[in-house]
Amino acid sequence: MSNPHLNHLLNLASLPTSLGDHVQITGSDCLLPTPFAFLAPGAACIAATGLAAAELWKLKTGRSQQITLDTHAAATALRSPRYLRIDGKKVEEDAAKITGFYQLKDGRWMYLHCNFPNVRDGNLKALGLSNADKDAVTKAIAQREGLELEAAMFANGGCGGLIRSESEWEQCAHQKSAAQIPLFDIVKIGDAPVQPLPRGDRPLSGVRMLDLTRVLAGPSCAKAFAEHGADVIRITRKDLPDLGPPSDVDTGLGKLQAHIDMRDPAQAATMRALVKDCDVFLQGYRPGSLAARGLSPEALAAARPGIVYVTLSAWGHEGPWKDKRGYDTVVQSFNGMAWRPNNEKPAFLPGSPHDYIAGYVLAFATMVALHRRATVGGSWLVRTSLAGSGEWFRTLPRFTPAQYQHLPAEFPPEVLKPLLMEHDSPWGRVTHLAPAVKLSETPGRWTRPAAPRGSHAAVWPARS
């Protein structure tokens, strides 16, 4: 049966919708307690990664395969860290609990994103505070106006903002920009000869990806590449904080973890050497941030003809907010999804659909770009944004209260158990979700355990 969301992705990628005949998505689209219908497009994005991997396999071997996805598996994948356990125990993020909603002077609500120490400190500076004390933060915000505090937070390197209704969001200049930009772009940025896919027994065997992303969206794209056989090195800097478990463990499946500090000339040379031997360069910094380090799309296309340069941003590469920080929860705060009527306390969606839709969209589009490189050549730029993902599913028809209000917040054990798997890692015994999308000939799997950042040398493993 034709899937309109999958067709939308195929059309944007200039692929025939008949490819969707190889995909079967089964189950209900209404499984989570929310009126926003993000599961159906989210499932289509996950299935699209499987379809793109299958097309790469067909390019290698001439053989087609079937792709199947159950919507329960898709729903859990759209909030994957929720299910991660280490030695049977759940691990909580943000121990200080400063991240959250606070009431302003006029009674409206403000969201502070404080999951990274540097972002938290920027928010505290905007509040005139030096310590991360929740009571002090509550009192300070209660004396401020929303838009004034929002501007001060961004100006001081923080992140968060006034909780807006959808009508307020639709009056923002940036909403109009986000709504006009395509969900994703695949743009040719340089000439290069055709480069066949590396040999191997998996769709992405021998494909090398550098992952310079954080949190969920970008790391999930890289995780999907590792799922289908790519060699992924996640690059971090020793002095920069990360989320840690559960998110970094969950998105670290299948990856090597290396530190590089581009401020050091020797390490910068190591990065350039990695780039010359990579196929995909994935980054999630704000637009233009890496240009000063010589890591712009144009610079890498010149240094490594045939590269696929993949970029993720919060708000998109155009528009008045393109340089702002942003995360899934911040986008929900701005675009009306966290807003509640009658000034009730805001609440987030039961998942992270901006992150995961963007992440799987990137994985799909990047595989399409690799297919183009292997058939027509060229260097390619792939890009998407969290805000653009939100604009896609925000405009879809919504569920009625009668359809979703009775749904539990969590699936029963008999549904969850078949979706989980375990492996031993340096963190301990990790329980996590198995690959959601199923390929009939080359089923997805991760061949490397999750590992702490900086665990490996910044060296490519040999191609088989």
Question: How do residues 410-446 score in pLDDT, each as one tens digit?
Answer: 999 999 999 999 999 999 999 999 999 999 999 999 9
In angstroms, the CA 363 to CA 251 distance is: 14
Mean pLDDT calculated for residue range 205-210: 97
What the block records as the tokens of 404 is: 């979703």
pLDDT score, position 96: 58
- The whole domain housing 106 covers 100-177+325-343
pLDDT score, position 362: 98
Residue 19 lies in a domain: no
Q: Are 198 and 463 in contact (CB under 8 A)?
A: yes
Q: For residue 245, what pLDDT band results from cuts at 50, 70 and 90?
A: confident
Give the pairing type, strands 109-112 and 160-162. Answer: antiparallel
Q: For residue 267, what pLDDT band results from cuts at 50, 70 and 90?
A: very high
Residue 230 lies in a domain: no
- What are the CA-CA distances from residue 64 to residues 15, 58, 197, 434 (Å)? 16, 5, 16, 23
Q: For residue 131, what pLDDT band results from cuts at 50, 70 and 90?
A: confident
- In CATH, what number is assigned to the domain containing residue 114? 3.30.1540.10
Residue 331 lies in a domain: yes
pLDDT score, position 205: 97
More confident site: 174 or 103: 103
Q: Are 335 and 169 in contact (CB under 8 A)?
A: yes
In angstroms, the CA 157 to CA 6 distance is: 38
pLDDT score, position 459: 96
Order of strands, sheet of 85-86, starting from the edge strand that comes earlier in the sequence:
85-86, 428-433, 420-425
What the block records as the tokens of 249 is: 């463990």
What is the percent of the chain where pLDDT is above 90?
83
Kindly tell me if the per-residue pLDDT of 306 is higher than 80: yes
Alpha carbons within 13 A on the beta-carbon side of 103: 6
User: How many structural domains are present in the chain?
Assistant: 1
pLDDT score, position 329: 94
Kindly tell me if the per-residue pLDDT of 250 is higher than 60: yes
Residue 22 lies in a domain: no
- The values of phi and psi at residue 313, to 5°, are -135, 165
- From 55-69, 121-135, 225-239, 280-294, the region with the lowest mean pLDDT: 280-294
Q: pTM for the complete prediction?
A: 0.95
Residue 129 lies in a domain: yes
Query: Average model confidence (pLDDT) for the chain?
Result: 93
pLDDT score, position 178: 85
Residue in the block written with tokens 């899934």: 328
Q: Are 58 and 440 in contact (CB under 8 A)?
A: no
Give the pairing type, strands 67-70 and 280-283. Answer: unpaired
Residue 251: CB partners within 8 Å, gap ≥ 6? 80, 81, 216, 219, 220, 222, 223
Residue 49: CB partners within 8 Å, gap ≥ 6? 224, 228, 360, 363, 364, 367, 437
Angle, vertex CA 233, rays to CA 268 and CA 302, nearest 5: 50
Residue 40 lies in a domain: no
| Tens digits of residue pLDDT in 13-55 | 999 999 999 999 999 999 999 999 999 999 999 999 999 999 9
- What are the CA-CA distances from residue 431 to residues 89, 214, 263, 267, 450 (Å)? 9, 21, 37, 35, 11
pLDDT score, position 288: 67
Find, among 310, 423, 311, 363, the residue nearest to 204 by Cα.
363
What is the H or E stretch that residue 235 is in? strand 231-236
What is the percent of the chain where pLDDT is above 70?
98
Residue 17 lies in a domain: no
Kindly tell me if the per-residue pLDDT of 1 is higher than 70: no
Q: How far is CA 166 from the centre of its chain?
A: 23
Residue 158 lies in a domain: yes
Find, among 12, 67, 71, the residue nearest to 361 by Cα.
12
Kindly tell me if the per-residue pLDDT of 95 is higher than 60: no
| Tens digits of residue pLDDT in 268-303 | 999 999 999 999 999 987 666 677 778 899 999 999
